[in-house]
Amino acid sequence: MNAPDTALLQQQAPTATGVSRFHESARAQVAGAATYVDDIPEVRGTLHAAPVCSPVAHGRLSGFDTAAALALPGVRAFVSAADVPGDPLLAAFGHDEPVFAQDTVQFLGQAMGLIVADDVMTARRAARLVKPRIDALPPVLTVHEAHERKSYVLPPVHVARGDAAAALARAPHTLDGEFEVGGQEHFYLEGQIAYALPLEQDQWWIHSSTQHPGEVQHWVAHALGIPNHAVTVECRRMGGGFGGKETQAGHLAVWAALAARKTGRPVKLRLDRDDDFMLTGKRHPFAYRYRVGFDDSGRLSGLRIAMLANCGFSADLSGPVADRAIFHCDNAYFLEDVAIDSFRCKTNTQSHTAFRGFGGPQGVIAIERILGDIARHLDIDPLQVRLRNLYGVGERDQTHYDMTVEDNILEPLMTTLARTSGYEERRAAICAFNARSPVIKKGIAITPVKFGISFTATLFNQAGALVHVYTDGSVMVNHGGTEMGQGLNTKVAQIVADELGVPFERVIATAADTSKVPNASATAASSGTDLNGRAAQFAARHVRDNLAAFVAGLDGCGAGAVRFVNGEVITPKSARRFEDVVHAAYANRIQLWSDGFYRTPKIHYDKVTMKGRPFYYFAYGAAVSEVAIDTLTGESRVLAVDILHDVGHSINPAIDIGQIEGGFIQGMGWLTTEQLVWNDKGYLQTHAPSTYKIPTAGDLPPRWNIALWPEANREDNVHGSKAVGEPPFMLAISVYEALRDAVAQAGGDPEAMHAPGTAEEVLRALGG
Amino acid sequence: MTVQKQPGPMPSQPLTFLRRGQPVTLPAVPPDRTLLQVLREDLHCTGTKEGCGEGDCGACTVVLGEAVDGQLKLQAVNACIKLAHSVQGQAVFTVEDLGGTHPVQEAMVQCHGSQCGFCTPGFVMSLFALYEDTGGGQGVDHARAQAALSGNLCRCTGYRPILDAAARMGELPCPAGARVDEAAVLRGLRTLGGARPDAPYQRPPTLEALLKARAAHPDAQVVAGTTDVGLWITKQHKTYARLLDVTGAAELRQVETYPHHIAIGAAVNLTDAYAALVAERPSLAAFAHRFAGLPVRNAGTLGGNVANGSPIGDSMPLLIALGASVVLMRWDPKRRAIAHRELRLEDLYTGYRQNVMRPDELLCWIKVPRPAPGEWLQVDKVSKRFEDDISAVCLAVKLRIEDGVVREASIGAGGVAATPTRAARTEAALLDQPWNEDTVMFASAVLRDEFRPISDMRASADYRRAVLGNLLRRHWLAHQGQRGLRLETLDLEALA
């Protein structure tokens, strides 16, 4: 590029942030040169492992016949619970999950051991030759059965505000309802994988595709019975996470490490896609029962709701997931008198886990469904019913967990979107269309989202980072977050570049590594940039302050007068190139690297009473979806989507829009084609993309408009931005509500429709 | 316990293909090794990813080049279920071969088409095939791009930026060397030969050689596009010491047109076979698009789909309704000539994935009658997802109605029985009846009752039965001139 162009570019983009920088790995990714764990050149002697999985959902395990497996040429070892030197239970949240099944098997697919072999196909073939001795026991497979037996992974939780019973008793109208919402497989394109390398002196290096290297480190150390400092976990990037690599990645790392310990060789464990489906947890399926009261205008006056979360066989993250469903069953609406019962049901299925939204979607869909039904019941436009129930500003602004909603933009956001999307005219057009179309019927819905940002466990809201400035002026940033495609490293590099006033290209972000930044929280809860971006900003600021003091000394000005812009360090007297300043500072023994640490302010939360301010702020958005259904087959298409979403002041608009679009389409999949089917033996029948259908390019709605809300975060967050990973997922609930609208307009019973709204489910609701 | 027979040392054979203009030779590759394993594990080219190992996600998409009638034919396929030896003598293009600044790659960067990046190499290769197919990405509209990407899954982006990249790539400057030099590749391909005749993996170049090989090795696993057999290897962990690939036989790579039928050779891939069917009957276009994803259509063959006989194979209901027949051939050593027999398609099957073929026979041709005047054909596929999904129910109905009376009724159904089947009772309920609503309602009831489908993860038995009847009703409505009956062809502009 020639000089004038460079100048022009800089003029257009004086800062690194606020600009749609390409993903830091984009060029490597499109060239096939971005390295994922399975692409790392293998160390000589590497062996490969495959899991031995339970063939039944519940049973007593008394041993294995491994003769046939071990006789297969190339097979090196069978690894089972007997080979765990440390705690045979994983260091998980509930401490209720065995490393390998011991004595009992608790779901079909549970890992009972591993086969280790010279190559992966031999390991997989041999794993199926291991014959476990199991006396089958009756499994519990549904939440209803579990609830009836009081089979829970954690005790029930009750949250109430006001007097729901009294409010319901005096409500002019009441509705009772029951419905179910299915789970969801993450379907990260890169399956779960770990590569464990034994180092000297009982130390370990683990390459893991994980959202939480610190937890992997802790789990591996715990299972091996060694201190955390003996284990280093590294993750350059994941091929998608979506919550599925928050705890689930730990299992693989522990297994690979145990196999490596037993064989004394490096061991790689890459799950076959079908095994990945069978072994790992998914989004929690939920069942609901409710009674809601409301007045003639559709305003809520009392809600009693029971939420049954299907947690699978162990607690994993089910407690906080079910909690977040409680926090979000208000979504955008003021629930004055409310009583919520949350049951964390234990079933003999995969242990369900974090998934984008983390229980939020399961809470939001409940109230959106209820409001849709109220609108139909009163024959009022559902938008009006929703608007009438929104949180107020300065009144009706207290959540059921006692947090005041201080940054409410719901009403202007929804009315703006309704106007720009032509919601009212299109609703009228749809009614006219439906009147003349005998087979295809359309529906439309607008739904908002208000999503609380912060880990509800306050302690996780901390982060650290390291910024290194090298003597040539190049900058490296390392932080505790992980890159799973969401663009975290890009945003962090942008933040650091602006803090140091250097071009974006001067900064690289490196692999998450527990030996660099310790004790990092999971990259989850949409908090990656909020936490790590701020920590990196502070780290860079420390270096900048050192340089400013140094230059101020040279020029005899105050350090506050030194500016860092466009790759230059400018004082009232001079302008120097950043690299020249760095070089001189190094020669004068100035520290050119620093750490940074951030903890989220203002938040506090009492886990016992479930009251407080668990969230620093809320992210908002709304979507209008229009769908068509085929009343002969129940098939559907999403025809049009308009989104207005609040990301605060965007650090990278392209990345934020990417999160909004991707989150929406993923949510659309959850509520339409993505159906998990377990048979009556507890066997997950949809265990591959041939049977489990995530959206394709052909499912992208023909009309697709995304806009960003033009206002910075009202709380002091990094560069005025807001978190964006999870909130847009829930915008897709507008698709589900539009489907139910179409069902209603076709004369069917939308209250009979569960989620996902598969073709079969839609036809069932139509009475077909 | 049962003692598992242990596989002995696997036979192997050399494999040569063209890459970046140069022959790549691996001295000893087992016959059942996949192309993806060769790329990632033997050649250490890890740009191509494994997402699912069953041809459903497209992360492993590569482009193959083959000389066809003196021209280079490029097609995107799934490397994970493509057997390595099937590309003997062909050109293989992987993401690494594009160099990093190819307009496809540049467009993906500029449109923010990658997030986690794991699916990206597969998308890049599907776009590369599209780029070459459209004279450098010219005139790529939304529909064309969606069709080209129908076999690629992305879980991050929601696809919009990738579709934008497809539209954008043709506008970007094309650096020297980015376009495939067709003449140079063809020259390179001419220097490569086939496998030696007694090799464990054989892909004979002629029909006679193929049938002789079959006679000599009735134990060999017959393969075509391996879009199903590939899964027996990757998922069921089967091993094969000997494989016979039908797709090399020049005679069987043709679609031949006769006055009363077209004959589709068993080596014709699904893309070309459906193009031939659509050319005869344009109304099949929407249905053809819904058969799997593009890489599977490029690799798989109609002959393989038919010979495999899966009850949920999408071709058979249509072919049954059209009155197609199959030609089975074998080498007769006494007469030193090819012997053949022809049977109705539905008579091929005797049970779940079982058929009447002799060990030395191969399914060589599918003969499809040409449209007759007055033919009324409707084909429906119902699945959870529109693209790249397997049918819960597939129904093909061909009628001839004269003077308001049904004079011919030919109905094929899939997903309702252990084999693809003819709905004979429903045909009888329609035949010689007045074509009116009463007849349709009655026939719908018969059709609902004709089969005892299973309930599985795709659909319940009740749903399958209900939909069968409804689809027949749709045919009636369509015949009455009712428009706007299908979501596949829903015209947004017209309906808005």
In angstroms, the Cα distances linking B257 to A650, B260, B279 are 60, 8, 11
pLDDT(B268) > 60: yes
In angstroms, the Cα distances linking B182 to A517, B24, B126, B190, B468 are 52, 18, 18, 12, 48
What is the structure's pLDDT at B8? 52
Residue B91 φ/ψ, nearest 5 degrees: -100, 135
Please measure the distance between the N-terminal and C-terminal CA atoms of chain A and give it in whole angstroms. Answer: 64
Over residues B239-243, the mean pLDDT reads 95
Active site residue A726: yes
Q: What is the ipTM of this complex?
A: 0.97
Any B CB within 8 A of A696 CB? yes
Contact A675 B384 (CB under 8 A): yes
Q: What confidence tens digit (pLDDT) does each residue in B309-366 have? A: 888 888 999 999 999 999 999 999 999 999 999 999 999 999 888 999 999 999 999 9
What is the structure's pLDDT at B491? 65
Mutation choice for B interface testing from A1, A189, A760 by most B CBs within 10 A: A189
Any B CB within 8 A of A137 CB? no
Contact A763 B466 (CB under 8 A): yes
**Which residues of chain A make contact with B388, given a CB cutoff of 8 A?**
696
**Which residues of chain A make contact with B482, given a CB cutoff of 8 A?**
438-439
Reading the block at residue B277, the tokens are 């069917």
H-assigned helices in B220-340: 229-234, 270-280, 285-289, 294-299, 302-308, 315-321
In total, the C-beta contacts within 8 angstroms joining chain A to chain B are 283
Mutation choice for B interface testing from A43, A632, A665, A685 by most B CBs within 10 A: A632
Any B CB within 8 A of A683 CB? no
Burial pattern A258-293, b for ≥16 Cβ within 10 A else e, equals: bbbbbbebbbbbbbbbbbbbbbbbbbbbbbbebbbb
In three-state secondary structure terms, A228 is: helix
What is the structure's pLDDT at A14? 77
Contact B471 A633 (CB under 8 A): yes
Q: Smallest Cβ distance to B160: which of A68, A637, A700?
A: A700
H-assigned helices in A332-439: 360-378, 382-389, 410-420, 423-436
Contact A187 B388 (CB under 8 A): no
Q: Going by CATH, does the domain composed of B376-495 fall within 3.30.390.50?
A: yes
What is the structure's pLDDT at B309? 85
CA nearest B118 in A: which residue? Answer: A239
Q: Smallest Cβ distance to A71: which of B6, B51, B293?
A: B6
What is the structure's pLDDT at B231? 95
Q: What confidence tens digit (pLDDT) does each residue in A712-759 have? A: 999 999 999 999 999 999 999 999 999 999 999 999 999 999 999 999
Please check whether the two domains, B9-197 and B376-495, share a CATH topology: no
Q: Smallest Cβ distance to B159: which of A272, A697, A759?
A: A697
Rounded to a whole number, what is the distance in Å from the CA of A333 to chain B's nearest CA? Answer: 29
What is the structure's pLDDT at A7? 38
**Which residues of chain B make contact with A705, given a CB cutoff of 8 A?**
none
Query: What is this structure's pTM?
Result: 0.97
CA nearest A32 in B: which residue? Answer: B47
Listed by start position, the domains of chain B span: 9-197, 203-369, 376-495
Instruction: Please provide the DSSP assignment of A51-90 as one string.
Output: EEE-SSSSEEEEEEE-HHHHHSTTEEEEEEGGG-SS-SB-
What is the structure's pLDDT at B281? 97
Q: What confidence tens digit (pLDDT) does each residue in B157-177 have? A: 999 999 999 999 999 999 999
Contact A689 B57 (CB under 8 A): yes
Q: Smallest Cβ distance to B115: which of A38, A485, A634?
A: A485
Contact A664 B158 (CB under 8 A): yes
Please measure the distance between the N-terminal and C-terminal CA atoms of chain B and give it in whole angstroms. Answer: 66
Rounded to a whole number, what is the distance in Å from the CA of B287 to chain A's nearest CA? Answer: 14
Q: Smallest Cβ distance to A27: which of B109, B159, B463?
A: B109
A748: Cα separation from own chain's centroid: 34
Mutation choice for A interface testing from B50, B94, B112 by most A CBs within 10 A: B112
Instruction: Please provide the DSSP assignment of B333-363 as one string.
Output: TTTTEEEEEEEEGGGGEEETTEE---TT-EE
Contact A673 B385 (CB under 8 A): yes
CA nearest B470 in A: which residue? Answer: A632
What is the structure's pLDDT at A11? 41
Any B CB within 8 A of A27 CB? yes
What is the structure's pLDDT at B4? 42
Contact A636 B487 (CB under 8 A): yes
Q: Could you tell me the pLDDT band of residue A650, with boundaries at 50, 70 and 90?
A: very high
Reading the block at residue B374, the tokens are 């007055």
Any B CB within 8 A of A73 CB? yes
Rounded to a whole number, what is the distance in Å from the CA of B89 to chain A's nearest CA? Answer: 24
Rounded to a whole number, what is the distance in Å from the CA of B456 to chain A's nearest CA? Answer: 8
CA nearest A123 in B: which residue? Answer: B237
In angstroms, the Cα distances linking A270 to A279, B39, B298 are 12, 17, 29
Q: Could you tell me the pLDDT band of residue A215, with boundaries at 50, 70 and 90?
A: very high
**Which residues of chain A make contact with B94, given a CB cutoff of 8 A?**
32
Q: How far apart are CA B304 and CA B227, in angstroms?
A: 9
**Which residues of chain B make contact with A33, given a CB cutoff of 8 A?**
47, 96, 100
In angstroms, the Cα distances linking A596 to A65, A79, A261, A485 are 54, 42, 36, 24
Contact A693 B389 (CB under 8 A): yes
Any B CB within 8 A of A210 CB? no
**Which residues of chain B make contact with A128, given a CB cutoff of 8 A?**
237
Query: Which has more confidence, B3 or A460?
Result: A460
Contact A661 B158 (CB under 8 A): yes
Q: Could you tell me the pLDDT band of residue A10, with boundaries at 50, 70 and 90?
A: very low
Over residues B81-90, the mean pLDDT reads 97
What is the structure's pLDDT at A768? 75
Minimal CA–CA distance to B209: which of B225, B197, B199, B219?
Answer: B197
**Which residues of chain B make contact with A37, given a CB cutoff of 8 A?**
none
Q: Could you tell me the pLDDT band of residue A197, with boundaries at 50, 70 and 90?
A: very high
What is the structure's pLDDT at B353? 87
- Contact call for residues B15 and B29 (beta carbons, < 8 A): yes
Q: What confidence tens digit (pLDDT) does each residue in A606-649 have? A: 988 889 999 999 999 999 999 999 999 999 999 999 999 999 99
Sheet-wide strand order for A104-105:
A104-105, A59-65, A131-136
Rounded to a whole number, what is the distance in Å from the CA of A175 to chain B's nearest CA? Answer: 29
The domains located in chain A, with CATH, are: 47-138+186-279 (3.30.365.10), 286-456+606-766 (3.30.365.10), 462-599 (3.30.365.10)
In angstroms, the Cα distances linking B103 to A131, B27, B167, B306 are 53, 35, 11, 39
**Which residues of chain A make contact with B110, given a CB cutoff of 8 A?**
22
pLDDT(A150) > 50: yes
Class of the CATH-defined domain B9-197? alpha beta
Q: How far apart are CA A492 and CA A651, in angstroms?
A: 9
The helix or strand, by DSSP H or E, that contains position B364, with its residue range, turns out to be strand B362-369
Q: Smallest Cβ distance to B159: which of A429, A486, A700?
A: A700
Q: How far apart are CA A612 and CA A237, in angstroms?
A: 35
Any B CB within 8 A of A19 CB? no
Rounded to a whole number, what is the distance in Å from the CA of B422 to chain A's nearest CA? Answer: 21
In three-state secondary structure terms, A492 is: helix
CA nearest A240 in B: which residue? Answer: B116
pLDDT(A12) > 60: no
Minimal CA–CA distance to B394: which of B315, B326, B485, B336?
Answer: B315
Q: What confidence tens digit (pLDDT) does each residue in A514-562 have? A: 999 999 999 999 999 999 999 999 999 999 999 999 999 999 999 999 9
Give the relative orientation of helices A360-378 and A733-745 as an angle to the nearest 10 degrees.
Answer: 30
Q: Going by CATH, does the domain composed of B203-369 fall within 1.50.10.20?
A: no
CA nearest B152 in A: which residue? Answer: A696
Contact A25 B467 (CB under 8 A): no
Q: Could you tell me the pLDDT band of residue B9, with boundaries at 50, 70 and 90?
A: low
- Contact call for residues B248 and B194 (beta carbons, < 8 A): yes
Minimal CA–CA distance to A417: which of A447, A375, A381, A451?
Answer: A447
Q: Which of A246, A726, A751, A761 is catalytic?
A: A726
Any B CB within 8 A of A124 CB? yes
**Which residues of chain B make contact with A444, given a CB cutoff of 8 A?**
none
Output the CA torsion sign for A269, A273, A278, A281. positive
Q: Could you tell me the pLDDT band of residue B193, with boundaries at 50, 70 and 90?
A: confident
Contact B160 A239 (CB under 8 A): no
